[in-house]
Structure 1
Amino acid sequence: MKTYTFSNWIESSGGPFVIIEKKFAPLWGGTNGYPSDFDLACRTSNYIEEISTTNTTALILGDEPLRTLVAYSDDHSLIVRWRWAASEEDVLSKIQNICFPKKYEDRIDVNFCTDNLEIFDSASTYAEAESINLKANAGKNTINTFNYSPDPETSLLIHKISNATQKLKLVNTQL
């Protein structure tokens, strides 16, 4: 069993969340301009999608504006989006005992130039106090998305971020 550490929760004012390199986060325009960065973010249709703005490239967490946190383990990070659950303690407990599916609902391969990213409300301009710092591996990463409902009272949308360059273990097939 993996042990996870957790960030604080953040919430959206109604729009999707954006993931962007921390050095470019102050350039995110929110609802300012036409089309605004927020307008571009709202045009996405997948659980996670890459967009290009005038200033940079960003990832958009689509679907619903769900309460969100980041869970870290030794070999991957999870972006946890709370659909419903009995309590915060219940959500954190379910994540500590998470079972990953064999098939994911959405997948995207991304190349992060840095390991220092920020997640915040796409309708807003960047404010560190209203964001989550996301530590990811610089370089190629795979983000697999799935719905996690370990029981009828709990539903979470999970984005699992893994380093795509991890070497696979070789299995000796000789008898």
Structure 2
Amino acid sequence: MSLTWLETEGGPFIVLPRDVLSHWSGTEGDYDRACEVRGLVGVLGLPDGAEALVLGDEPLSTAYLPDRRVLVRWHYAESEEGVVDIVLAGLPTAEWEEGPVLRTAGELVMFDAAYFGTEVGTLAESIILALGPGHYRVDSASIQPDDLTCFRVHRFVGPA
């Protein structure tokens, strides 16, 4: 299995419901709020009660494993060869840090928080997270099988 990696231009990723993409104002306001998130992940309130997940900390290349509902963030590794196997092998024994709860009405879109939501699909690359409606706790862990390889992972636990 090959992963599709997404990059930012140095800031955080934002993960928000597809139906509120047009509300995300990128560098004209919302980006600054996203940059204020400290730690690995955080939740921001949006208009109409919607919520967005911010992937904070470092601007790491990020991919999504849909069958496990896990975001994979490339911290360091020598190559992309075997990444999926490494992550899958590490998930059961990972030391998970319980994270915030994200409410969603369904499908989410992840993209560089600097872009306007209306630029997704044209100027901004994105990844779709096909989650059903519900409340998802977003837990974080590191998978580090050796001194040369480390991936940060975030799993969506729920719906609760």
TM-score, scaled to structure 1:
0.80
Aligned in 2, Cα 1:63/1:106: closer, same or farther, shift over 3 Å? farther
Matched, 1:120 2:111: yes
User: Which has the larger Rg?
Assistant: 1
Aligned partner (choices 10, 18, 21) of residue 17 of structure 2: 21
Separation of aligned partners in 2, 1:20 and 1:6: 24
The answer for the alignment partner of 1:72 in structure 2 is 66
Q: Is the 8 A contact 1:6 1:70 kept in 2?
A: no
Matched, 1:11 2:7: yes
Question: Residues 1-175 of structure 1 correspond to what in structure 2 (within 5 A)?
Answer: 7-32=3-28, 36-54=29-47, 56-73=50-67, 76-101=68-93, 103-114=95-106, 116-126=107-117, 127-128=120-121, 130-165=125-160
Two-structure CA RMSD over aligned residues (Å): 1.9
Separation of aligned partners in 2, 1:7 and 1:117: 18
Q: CA deviation at 1:54?
A: 4.8
Structure 1 stretches lacking a partner, 5+ long: 166-175
The answer for the alignment partner of 1:168 in structure 2 is none
Q: Is the 8 A contact 2:12 2:54 kept in 1?
A: yes
Q: CA deviation at 1:63?
A: 0.4
Runs of at least 4 residues of structure 1 off by over 6 A? none
Separation of aligned partners in 1, 2:58 and 2:98: 15
Separation of aligned partners in 2, 1:87 and 1:31: 33
Structure 1 vs Structure 2: percent identity of aligned residues?
A: 28
How many pairs align?
155
